[in-house]
Amino acid sequence: MLFGSAVLISVAGIITMSPFLSAQVDTGEGNFAQKQILWLVISSGAFFGASMIDWRFFRRTLAVTGVFAVAVFLLLALLVAGSVFKGAQSWFDLGAFAFQPTDFAKLSLIFVLAKYFARRHVEIAHMRHIIITALYALIILILIFIQPDFGGAIIIALIWLGMVLVSGISKKHLSAIFFIGIAFSMFFWNFGFKDYQKQRIISFLNPLADIRGAGYNAYQSTVAVGSGELLGKGIGLGSQSKLKFLPEYRTDFIFAAYAEEWGFLGVLLIFSLYGVVVWRVLTLALKGETNFEILYGLGLSIFFISHFVVHVGINIGLLPVTGITLPFMSYGGSHLLFEYLALGILVGMQRYARATHKETDRNEILDVYGHSDLYKE
């Protein structure tokens, strides 16, 4: 059910980005859908491969810190060897395909936070543990922010905040985090945000003030979502996306493009599929063998929920526009590969957890029989 729901979401994305008019085919629009089908096949293989591995070696601190160190190294390497695309130095251009280390960094942060809180969940009331985990997240966040990738930085912050909350933070420390967050926001507004990022936030407060400039993307997105009405315009008939009024309709605004073609009923369908994915992730997480597996699954659900809420919020005009993909659905091989890989790891953790429980049950049965033999004697 987990894998099937994720694949259905991916198929919906491929259909949304596919060309259905001869003019679009002639301009090479079909290449995006073809590439995404290939990435879906590769990602599916990664899912099944990961589900067969015994991931208990990740309980070792050295393994988790090693993954985190690789993520930091890749993000640092981007500053030297990364390719600039639309103003962001976020990709390694490998010729046949491009690789975005941000997706790997998000997964590595979930691992390191799950490992840290699994060992110290009883001591989470101590502020030092919150500060230490914040430093882990801050390293990744800063390296992503200076690319600049504001959307990726937001997801990193939400993953950290969510995992701190599920680990059992006190109300006093939660209040402290709130005020620290305000302080950081003021700092980034004055010294971190670029002019175009400030303009996006300003246009969010009044998106209709400059629909030909900073508010153009938000305006076209809300038009696309609203024009879908109940049943949608039909597959391949979305005028906002297919006629290029809606920018980046395969990635940052794929939900708006989908809603335009599939309508409100189609939106309910895709929401239900995401609901199944999150429900199954949480179900598998709560069946984890140790706190590490449980916290990894909870972190993964926070990752998916954060991406989903922010992406949809942007597309319907409730949040400022920033580059956020929709899990399993947006165009792109890097994020799709790591999303399916993350699910496969969770399934693999559950598989050996079941084996452990079966062994425990078998020993208990043997123990009962042993006692009953003694009782007969």
**pLDDT tens-digit series, residues 67-99:** 999 999 999 988 888 777 777 778 787 777 778
Residue 363 has a pLDDT of 46
Q: Are residues 212 and 343 in the same domain?
A: yes
Q: Which of 129, 159, 193 is the last residue of a domain?
A: 193
> φ and ψ at 247, to 5 degrees?
-75, 155
Give the residues across from 127 on adjacent strands.
none
Q: Are residues 228 and 357 in the same domain?
A: yes
pLDDT band at residue 361 under the 50/70/90 scheme: very low
Sheet holding 88-93, edge to edge: 83-85, 88-93, 98-99
Residue 32 has a pLDDT of 83
Q: Are residues 218 and 357 in the same domain?
A: yes
Q: How far apart are CA 186 and CA 202, in angstroms?
A: 15
- Indicate whether 356 pLDDT > 80: no
Q: In which domain, by residue range, is 109 found?
A: 53-193
- Indicate whether 196 pLDDT > 70: no
Q: How far apart are CA 339 and CA 283, in angstroms?
A: 17
How many residues can be counted in the chain? 377
Q: How far apart are CA 330 and CA 248, in angstroms?
A: 10
Residue 289 has a pLDDT of 84
Q: Are residues 210 and 144 in the same domain?
A: no
Q: Are residues 320 and 172 in the same domain?
A: no
> φ and ψ at 316, to 5 degrees?
-105, 10
Residue 184 has a pLDDT of 73
% of the chain residues with pLDDT over 70: 81
- The pLDDT mean for the chain works out to 82
* Cβ atoms of residues 297 and 358 within 8 Å: no
More confident of the two residues 237 and 40: 40
Q: Are residues 68 and 105 in the same domain?
A: yes
Average pLDDT over every residue of 244-264: 87
Whether 375 is in a domain gets the answer: no
Q: Are residues 145 and 98 in the same domain?
A: yes
Whether 70 is in a domain gets the answer: yes
Whether 332 is in a domain gets the answer: yes
Q: Which of 135, 168, 193 is the last residue of a domain?
A: 193
Global confidence as pTM: 0.84
Structural domains counted in the chain? 2
pLDDT tens digits, one per residue of 340-349: 999 999 999 8
Whether 368 is in a domain gets the answer: no
Q: Are residues 211 and 181 in the same domain?
A: no
Q: Are residues 227 and 105 in the same domain?
A: no
Residue 360 has a pLDDT of 47
Q: How far apart are CA 150 and CA 133, in angstroms?
A: 20
Whether 376 is in a domain gets the answer: no
More confident of the two residues 183 and 47: 47
Give the residues across from 88 on adjacent strands.
85
Q: Are residues 336 and 353 in the same domain?
A: yes
Q: Are residues 73 and 89 in the same domain?
A: yes
- Indicate whether 240 pLDDT > 50: yes
Q: Which of 162, 193, 224 is the last residue of a domain?
A: 193
Residue 247 has a pLDDT of 80
Whether 289 is in a domain gets the answer: yes
Q: Which two tokens stand for residue 302?
A: 């926070």
Residue 207 has a pLDDT of 59
Average pLDDT over every residue of 42-52: 94
- Indicate whether 25 pLDDT > 70: no
Q: Which two tokens stand for residue 14?
A: 């491929």
More confident of the two residues 31 and 168: 31
pLDDT tens digits, one per residue of 162-173: 998 887 766 676
Whether 200 is in a domain gets the answer: no
* 337 closest CA partner among 99, 108, 158, 68: 99
Whether 311 is in a domain gets the answer: yes
Q: Are residues 219 and 170 in the same domain?
A: no
- Indicate whether 334 pLDDT > 90: no
